């Protein structure tokens, strides 16, 4: 059929947008950022998994005859889908000078650190405020389940929004009141924020930018039925072979006609699946059909025997409609509906549910769909239609015919499904288990329906259906048939388990991995179901201790407390000043690298990356890529100035070889690739999309070589970097390490009458900063000058390496950093490599070149926290006093050295945690593997060393059958004792920290309560642990312990400009520097400004890392300001009443220098690894945490009930910022040791976890429900600025208290199952490991061993 071609017509922030030739393949976020220059909306992942791109979309609903307002992922929404709608972005709400109350609430609650995720979070909360009807705390958490934050730990975000919304009366702008909690009972058209609002001030700000435009409203009111039209791209689309058509049918009949004409067309609704396939899998289709506006597909009809639901009903609407159905029917009839609702509440995030439609989820035929098993189990019928076949009804049990395949014929469309009500004596339930409870795809899901005679307990019908157990949604036919005629009893699960395993045969290498766990879940879910039915039939039929299996783990209501001390003398240092950029971040005004306005001639780059883990390069052919319209060139090593093919990789003058410490990496691979994703070249084009498309067309031929991938592979192959570190003390010391015979004699080795041996495997961790690595290199056009804008923690290293690659002096390269959207160590060195590659392109093409890595590219290229393997042997006395530690540490370094040696050194130095060990021998080695090089990550090896320490201290306690708390306290360091690297602990306050955490957490009382709970519950167990930490503060590379600063005072108005060597990445460094400067100069902070970090103002900067940036840069700023203050002192003495501005003017007129530089180096750092003598660290930051968790022993699910943290951080420069660092570090540490698990293919070396879909960081409802932080009062530190202490990294390891609390809970489950021996639990404690470690009879049934050399589908590196 012929559709009218019309322009795209929609509104953004109240402004009308008319685009005559829209690109159907363009996403809303690209349109907003590139075409409309609205850069407040951020691109974090491109797959709808992080929420950074959230906007509010107001669309007309024909059924409601009004506009509805929903949060939407702009990265997935095609811009063409916005026709006839109104988009509100962060820019519309308010400005830094006049913020919206929601923006102000987040800023003043200290809920924005790096700020990259903040606009998306604000927009989710804003969308909630448009629809809020009461349950504030629950709704705040629920509305944000599609948003991630890597910095804050979430507490201040929820707290800020909750306080704002709870304090706001509901006021109707029409009548002046609201009698129904925001739901208008009058005839008012309450359809936008101006009609029904939650108010924080006297009234929400009225804004033409946020209201639905009158033109749009009147258009829909005049003609409510959707129109028929088509968009057709004007030129060849960058994402398809030819132009793409976007069809918008106005009716179901038109949809069927279009499908008949274009049978291969793709139907788009929410685009939550197709959008990912387009962006990441280069899906091609010449025709897209947008069906989301069709009323015929949105109908929900309740009938006598069930519910008919249109295929176009969104999941949010489905939830709403089904809840109404449940309230209107008999209880027994609603059981199937309740099963659907149970899984819907954990289905994706709010933004996805708002646009994803029922039909789309069914048609994708995902084997892990949360809903498809329910449709099959409930005997749901699908209604499909086409012009050729008419209307057909297909039972859902026959609908899924293979992997991602359905029973639909060509051109058929799913119209609706019919969900029958459950009958009397029918029981239905659905289950799901994922890595993370909210917003995560299932590992396994299941839906069960049984008909049970309540008098005889005989089963007359059974349907057991699973997802995640086969290539498609599958009904366990044999098990279902087996159950018929059986009696519902306690032994039924055991009886059916063997049959169930035959229904779902899975080998050791089955795709998806986690084979034993998936099998265990299938049995465990059915076990829960049986107990559920028994409890429904008779409250007394389920034993008290087994009832805990019936309900999911419930996270308690959120609560929190922070205890700290602020100065009473009014000093600005020590006050909780809000983050310097907070107001800019909450309003979208804060500029990140990819927000920098485009240069007129700017080009964009994309890597050509290796597909092999280890191979020789035989041929690189970019010819096909160079044919793509818009491509400007292919860049390789040949384009590096001074590079020659005969240069050796060992040649220090080879400009293609770079590295932070050891130059052992190629900018562009030349003869050999050594990991999957290694850059071979760059495609440069006129747009990011064109560059990405063309980069996939470059042909590379390889000769494969055998890769080494894991630590175990490396040990077996002897693949190590040629640097072995040894740390020995006491009787183990040899040669120059021996300083005193007395050291070995005080507690002789022979005192150890008992020994334990074991090992601890610790996985890596993705940095997952929300802003990916990005670089923009601008040739200045003369004298070989280049300006490098980089998202880096290390401007000087960037400058030096770009200088080396381009062959120009460093004084011609200026590196500028405004702010980072998170770093965590991942941008300390790895960012430099991106800048070098982009610089080569800018040099060759003589134009600015920009490259912001996609999330997938970043996770493939940038490496992770180092995976570790620790093998220990510990000697101790019968009393439990430690005598000796022999430890081998192996770190997976990846393909190059990077910072791995320093990471291993810190792991070795922290392998004591807080425990005195007289005799220590530690060997540290870096494994060389064919993976992306692993790099710095918050803690820098310290957490891995301490994790091994906690393993052996727990092992010692377990072997003695004593409380680990007793063994800890027996071995705590005492004042002035020497560490194993012989540094005296001369400022030790740890016992006070420990005492406070034990008291404030009420540890002993709660431990007794946990033990009582565990006695009463079989399938849910609790664990509680108190755990310490000690973190050394200094760069172990002595040279980096220095910093410079430059301070200017301007005579015209007395304003102050501060620059220093540190970069701002959310940790509040710039804010603290302004507080220090204001205090030193005696001016209000409003007088002080800090713009950016630049190598042109402060040279030779150290990386912003090691938690020491506030110490060294703060001292440098303080010294510079004090120098200026000393010059102004005579004028202040002579004019005590004069204003600051007058004093400055007087000094200027007297020709006094109003500029000063400051410099500071940390004193007394003298450690020598050869002799194991000298001072390694400037000082130590101490902390302790008490954490209580609850686990589900049948699924491995867990929830963190409460955490109490006590930190000694000296005298805080800014308590609110420091508490934010503590909470954020804890959440990151919690993720590292529980749900974050980087996985690779053991066969190919491909990174499997390369986006939020597969890699899970903690979300809003993963952090402790009760989160308490206490900063020790009255503590001082003479070795840092203003008596403060470093706080960025030290608290991270306290997140591991979750791991040890989980293990404590597992221990109780194992005890119930007759297992009382020490058991090994590797890190992270994923749901899989928790479940299998519980060691019940099910784990024996599901045992699956490899056959021959069979490898698992995935593994840790």
DSSP of 1112-1157: HHHHHHHHHHHHHHHHHHHHHHH-TT--HHHHHHHHHHTT---EEE
**DSSP letter assigned to residue 1168:** B
pLDDT for the residue 1136: 95
664 CB burial (10 A radius; 0-12, 13-18, 19+): middle
Task: Give the residue ranges of DSSP H helices in 1135-1245.
Answer: 1140-1149, 1215-1233
pLDDT for the residue 169: 57
CA distance 968 to 518: 37
Please give the C-alpha separations between residue 280 and each of 241, 273, 314, in angstroms, as whole numbers. Answer: 16, 11, 24
Instruction: Please work out, in degrees rounded to the nearest 5, the angle formed at the alpha carbon of residue 230 by the alpha carbons of 228 and 234.
Output: 165
CA distance 1276 to 601: 54
DSSP-assigned states of every residue in 474-524: EE-HHHHHHHTT-B--TTHHHHHHHHHHHHS---TT-TTS-HHHHHHHHHH
Which candidate, 594, 566, 571, places its Cα nearest to that of 1081?
A: 571
pLDDT for the residue 136: 57
**Maximum distance among all alpha carbons in the chain?**
104
Q: Give the DSSP H/E element, type plus range, for residue 215.
A: helix 214-222
CA distance 326 to 16: 42
Beta strands in 587-718 (DSSP E): 603-609, 615-621, 631-635, 657-658, 665-666, 672-673, 679-685, 699-704
Which candidate, 832, 848, 838, places its Cα nearest to that of 778?
A: 848
Indicate which residues carry an active-site annotation: 1289
Place of tokens 């080396």: 804
CA distance 853 to 771: 9
Pairing assessment for the beta strands 786-790 and 774-779 based on DSSP bridges: antiparallel
pLDDT along the chain (1357 residues), means of 10: 87 95 92 97 96 95 85 95 96 95 95 98 92 62 91 95 75 44 42 34 60 86 77 54 79 94 90 71 80 93 97 95 95 97 92 94 94 97 96 97 94 97 97 92 97 96 97 96 95 95 95 97 97 90 91 89 91 96 98 96 97 98 97 98 87 92 95 98 97 97 98 98 96 86 77 98 98 98 97 98 98 98 98 98 98 98 98 98 98 98 98 98 98 98 98 98 97 96 94 97 98 97 98 97 98 98 98 98 97 97 97 98 98 96 98 98 96 97 98 98 98 97 98 98 97 96 97 95 97 98 98 96 98 97 95 97
Instruction: Please work out, in degrees rounded to the nearest 5, the angle formed at the alpha carbon of residue 574 by the alpha carbons of 568 and 576.
Output: 100
Instruction: Please work out, in degrees rounded to the nearest 5, the angle formed at the alpha carbon of residue 377 by the alpha carbons of 1332 and 316.
Output: 90
**501-535 CB burial, b ≥16 within 10 A, e <16:** bebbebebbbebbbbbbbbbbbbbbbbbbbbbbbb
CA distance 937 to 917: 27
Pairing assessment for the beta strands 1042-1049 and 1056-1060 based on DSSP bridges: antiparallel
pLDDT for the residue 222: 72
CA distance 210 to 449: 47
Which candidate, 554, 553, 562, places its Cα nearest to that of 152?
A: 562
Q: Both tokens of residue 580?
A: 């310097």
| Predicted model pTM | 0.96
CA–chain centroid gap for 295, Å, is: 37
pLDDT for the residue 305: 96
pLDDT for the residue 568: 85
């Amino acid at each position: 059929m012929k559709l009218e071609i019309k322009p795209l017509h929609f509104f953004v922030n109240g402004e009308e947008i008319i685009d005559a030739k829209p690109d159907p393949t363009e996403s809303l976020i690209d349109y907003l950022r590139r075409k409309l220059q609205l850069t407040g909306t951020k691109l974090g992942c491109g797959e709808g998994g992080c929420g950074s791109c959230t906007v509010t979309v107001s669309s007309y609903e024909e059924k409601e005859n009004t506009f509805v307002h929903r949060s939407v992922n702009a990265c997935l929404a095609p811009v063409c889908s916005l026709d006839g709608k109104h988009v509100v972005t962060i820019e519309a709400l308010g400005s830094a000078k006049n913020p919206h109350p929601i923006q102000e609430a987040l800023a003043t609650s200290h809920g924005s650190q790096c700020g990259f995720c903040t606009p998306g979070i604000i927009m989710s909360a804003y969308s909630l405020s448009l629809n809020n009807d009461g349950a504030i705390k629950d709704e705040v958490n629920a509305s944000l389940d599609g948003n991630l934050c890597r910095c804050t730990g979430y507490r201040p975000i929820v707290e800020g929004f909750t306080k704002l919304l709870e304090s706001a009366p509901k006021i109707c702008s029409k009548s002046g009141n609201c009698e129904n909690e925001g739901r208008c009972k009058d005839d008012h058209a309450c359809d936008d924020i101006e009609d029904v609002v939650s108010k924080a001030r006297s009234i929400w700000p009225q804004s033409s930018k946020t209201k639905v435009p009158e033109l749009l409203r009147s258009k829909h009111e005049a003609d409510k039925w959707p129109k028929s039209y088509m968009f057709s791209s004007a030129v060849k689309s960058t994402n398809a072979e030819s132009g793409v058509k976007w069809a918008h049918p106005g009716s179901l009949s038109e949809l069927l006609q279009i499908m008949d004409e274009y049978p291969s067309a793709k139907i788009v609704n929410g685009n939550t699946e197709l959008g990912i396939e387009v962006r990441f899998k280069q899906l091609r289709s010449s025709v897209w059909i947008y069906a989301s506006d069709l009323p015929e597909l949105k109908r929900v009809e309740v009938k006598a025997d069930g519910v008919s639901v249109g295929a176009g009903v969104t999941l949010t609407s489905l939830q709403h409609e089904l809840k109404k159905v449940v309230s209107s029917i008999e209880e027994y009839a609603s059981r199937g509906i309740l099963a659907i609702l149970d899984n819907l509440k954990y289905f994706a995030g709010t933004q996805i549910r708002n646009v994803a439609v029922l039909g789309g989820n069914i048609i994708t035929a995902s084997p892990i769909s949360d809903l498809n098993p329910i449709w099959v189990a409930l005997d749901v019928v699908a209604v499909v239609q086409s012009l050729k076949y008419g209307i057909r009804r297909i039972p859902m049990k026959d609908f899924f015919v293979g992997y991602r395949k359905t029973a639909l014929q060509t051109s058929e469309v799913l119209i609706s499904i019919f969900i029958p009500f459950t009958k009397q004596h029918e029981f239905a339930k659905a289950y799901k288990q994922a890595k993370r409870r909210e917003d995560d795809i299932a590992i396994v899901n299941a839906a069960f329906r049984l008909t049970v005679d309540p008098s005889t307990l005989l089963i007359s019908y059974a349907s057991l259906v699973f997802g995640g157990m086969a290539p498609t949604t599958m009904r366990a036919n044999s098990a279902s048939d087996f159950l018929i005629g059986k009696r519902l009893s306690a032994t039924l699960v055991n009886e059916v388990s063997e049959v169930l395993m035959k229904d779902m045969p899975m080998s050791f290498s089955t795709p998806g991995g986690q084979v034993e766990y998936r099998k265990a879940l299938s049995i465990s879910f059915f076990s829960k179901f049986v107990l559920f039915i028994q409890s429904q039939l008779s409250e007394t039929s389920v034993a008290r201790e087994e009832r805990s299996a019936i309900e999911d783990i419930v996270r308690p209501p959120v609560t929190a407390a922070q205890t700290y001390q602020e100065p009473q003398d009014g000093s600005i240092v020590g006050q909780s000043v809000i983050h310097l950029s907070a107001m800019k971040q909450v309003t979208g005004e804060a500029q990140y690298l990819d927000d920098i306005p485009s240069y007129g001639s700017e080009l964009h780059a994309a890597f050509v990356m290796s597909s092999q883990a280890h191979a020789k390069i035989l041929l690189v052919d970019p010819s096909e890529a160079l044919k793509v319209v818009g491509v400007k060139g292919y860049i390789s090593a040949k384009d590096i100035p001074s590079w020659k093919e005969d240069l050796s990789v060992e040649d220090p003058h080879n400009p293609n070889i770079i590295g932070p410490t050891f130059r052992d990496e190629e900018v562009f691979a030349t003869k050999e690739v050594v990991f999957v994703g290694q850059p071979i070249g760059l495609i440069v084009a006129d747009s990011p999309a064109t560059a990405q498309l063309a980069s996939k067309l470059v042909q590379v031929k390889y000769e494969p070589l055998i890769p080494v991938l894991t630590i175990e592979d490396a040990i077996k192959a002897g693949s190590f970097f040629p640097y072995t570190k040894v740390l020995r003390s006491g009787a183990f010391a040899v040669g120059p390490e021996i300083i005193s015979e007395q050291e070995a004699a005080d507690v002789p080795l022979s005192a150890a009458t008992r020994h334990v041996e074991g090992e601890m495997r610790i996985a890596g961790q993705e940095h997952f900063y929300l802003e990916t690595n990005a670089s923009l290199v601008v040739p200045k056009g003369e004298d070989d000058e280049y300006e490098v804008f980089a998202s880096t923690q290390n401007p000087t290293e960037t400058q030096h390496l770009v200088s080396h690659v381009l062959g120009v002096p460093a004084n011609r390269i200026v590196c500028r950093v405004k702010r980072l959207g998170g770093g965590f160590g991942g941008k300390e060195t790895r960012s430099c490599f991106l800048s070098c590659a982009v610089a080569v392109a800018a040099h060759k093409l003589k134009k600015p070149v920009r490259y912001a890595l996609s999330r997938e590219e970043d996770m493939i290229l940038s490496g992770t926290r180092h995976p570790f393997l620790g093998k220990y042997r510990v000697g101790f006395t019968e009393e439990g006093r430690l005598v000796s530690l022999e430890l081998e540490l192996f770190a997976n370094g990846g393909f190059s050295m990077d910072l791995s040696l320093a990471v291993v050194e810190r792991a070795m130095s922290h392998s004591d945690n807080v425990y005195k060990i007289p005799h220590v021998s530690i060997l540290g080695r870096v494994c060389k593997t064919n993976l992306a090089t692993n790099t710095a990550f918050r803690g820098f090896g310290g957490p891995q060393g301490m994790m091994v320490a906690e393993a052996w201290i727990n092992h010692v306690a377990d072997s003695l059958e004593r409380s680990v708390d007793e063994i800890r306290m027996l071995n705590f360091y005492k004042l002035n004792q020497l560490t194993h690297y012989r540094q005296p602990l001369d400022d030790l306050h740890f016992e006070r920290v420990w005492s406070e955490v034990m008291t404030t957490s009420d540890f002993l009382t709660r431990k007794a309560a946990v033990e009582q709970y565990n006695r009463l519950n079989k399938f849910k167990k609790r664990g509680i642990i108190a755990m310490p930490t000690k973190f050394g503060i200094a760069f172990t590379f002595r040279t980096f312990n220095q910093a410079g600063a430059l301070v200017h005072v301007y005579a015209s108005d007395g304003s102050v400009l501060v620059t220093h060597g540190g970069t701002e990445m959310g940790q509040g460094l710039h804010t603290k520097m302004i507080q220090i400067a204001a205090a030193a100069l005696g001016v209000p902070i409003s007088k002080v400004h800090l713009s950016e970090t630049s190598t042109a103002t402060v040279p030779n900067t150290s990386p912003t890392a090691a938690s020491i940036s506030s110490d060294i840069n703060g001292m440098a700023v303080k010294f510079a300001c004090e120098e200026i203050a000393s010059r102004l002192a005579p004028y202040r003495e002579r004019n005590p009443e004069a204003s600051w501005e007058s004093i400055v003017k007087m000094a200027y007129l007297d020709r006094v220098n109003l500029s000063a530089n400051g410099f500071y180096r940390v004193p007394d750092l003298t450690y020598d690894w050869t002799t194991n003598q000298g001072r390694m660290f400037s000082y130590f930051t101490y902390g302790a945490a008490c954490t209580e968790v609850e686990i589900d022993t049948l699924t491995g699910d867990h929830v963190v009930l409460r955490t109490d943290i006590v930190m000694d951080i000296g005298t805080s420069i800014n308590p609110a910022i420091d508490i934010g660092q503590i909470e954020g570090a804890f959440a990151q540490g919690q993720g590292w040791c529980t749900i974050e698990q980087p996985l690779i293919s053991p066969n190919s070396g491909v990174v499997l976890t390369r986006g939020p879909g597969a890699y899970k960081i903690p979300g809003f409802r993963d952090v402790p429900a009760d989160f308490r932080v206490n900063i020790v009062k009255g503590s001082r530190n003479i070795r840092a600025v203003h008596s403060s202490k470093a706080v960025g990294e030290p608290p991270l390891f306290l997140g591991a208290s979750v791991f040890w609390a989980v293990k404590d809970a597992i221990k109780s489950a194992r005890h119930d199952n007759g297992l009382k021996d020490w058991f090994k639990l590797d890190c992270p404690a994923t749901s899989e490991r928790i479940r299998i470690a519980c060691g019940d009879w099910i784990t024996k049934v599901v045992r699956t061993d490899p056959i021959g050399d069979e490898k698992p589908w995935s593994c840790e590196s």
